[in-house]
Copies of this chain bind each other. A is one copy, B any other.
Amino acid sequence: MDNLNVGRHISGQFNEDLERVINHVMSMGGLVEKQLKDAINAMIEGDEKLAKKVLKGDYQVNDYEVNIDDECTRIIAKRQPAAGDLRLIMAIIKTITDLERIGDEAEKIAKVAQESFSKEQRDLLVSLENLGQSVLVMLQATLDAFTRMDFDAALKVHQTDDKIDREYEGLMRQLMTYMMEDPRSIPQIMSVIWSARALERIGDRCQNICEYIMYFVKGKVVRHTSPEDMENL
């Protein structure tokens, strides 16, 4: 990942501090991406060892959040940034909150991966593979848009959440049908539903991060605006 584009956005004076904190956000993003990838694989393969690794790794994500938060507060106090610099720091503070919560969702998926499922129920978990893959691609594209602080890329990623929502809803209908057909498997299917829900929530959190990128670039809050108004920016 390179952050040249971010460098172009910020004024000279803060470069060193800001570059450092941006690098930390990227490392955090890379770790969260790895956690999610491992959690999805653990779930699909039924790999308990990998699930355990994800559960153990979550404290590192939390440490990143606490440290970057602290770094941002110190930069504000020391450098008294204004305009674009301040907006960038605000965007970072909000982004890391969502990244940390994506880590929490990965943890939830890893917990489900540790539960015991019959062979048939295990097949249901595999049905999450497509949704998991779409969400992983969305997270990667979000982190990429963040690295380049690219408005257009962020807008494009933001719009893909519709696709995720549709995939999620289709899966939900399928899972509900299974429950109706075989009521004894309801507790296991509920676990699959919680995993699907966790994936869908990660899509929402990627959307949030895209909104912070757009806020930084355009200096305008795009949360709660219509897709058309976003495009017109």
Report whether over half of chain A's contact residues are helix, strand or loop; otherwise say mixed.
helix
Which residues from B are CB-within-8-Å of A70? 221
Complex CA distance for A76 and B176, rounded to whole angstroms: 50
Count copies of this chain in the complex.
2
Q: Indicate if A73 sits at the interface (CB-CB under 8 A).
A: yes
Q: Indicate if A233 sits at the interface (CB-CB under 8 A).
A: no
B180, A176: Cβ atoms under 8 Å? no
Complex CA distance for A73 and B220, rounded to whole angstroms: 12
* CB contact between A179 and one of B93, B181, B183 (< 8 Å): that residue: B183
Which residues from B are CB-within-8-Å of A77? 81-83, 86
- Give the size category of A's interface with B: 20 to 34
Which residues from B are CB-within-8-Å of A66? 221, 223-224
* CB contact between A183 and one of B69, B83, B183, B224 (< 8 Å): that residue: B183
Q: Indicate if A127 sits at the interface (CB-CB under 8 A).
A: no
Q: Indicate if A59 sits at the interface (CB-CB under 8 A).
A: yes
Over the window 201-233 of chain A, the binary record of Cβ atoms lying under 8 Å from chain B Cβ atoms (1 yes, 0 no) is: 000000000000000000001011000000000
